[in-house]
Structure 1
Amino acid sequence: MSCTGATCSSTDYQGVTCDGAFTACPSTTSCSGLPLCSSLENRTCLNLGATQSCCRRNRTDILVCSPTGGSGTEGKWLYY
Structure 2
Amino acid sequence: MKQEQQKSFRQQLKIMFKGYRHLTRKLSRQLAQLGFTLENGRTHYKIYYGEDHQHAVIISKTSSDYRAGMNICRQLYTLVPAHP
When normalised by structure 2's length, the TM-score is 0.22
Q: Choose 1 or 2 for highest CA Rg.
A: 1
RCO higher in 1 or 2 (8 Å CA, sep ≥ 6)? 2
Of Structure 1 and Structure 2, which has the larger fraction of its residues in helix? 2
Which has the larger share of strand?
A: 1
The TM-score with structure 1 as length reference comes to 0.22
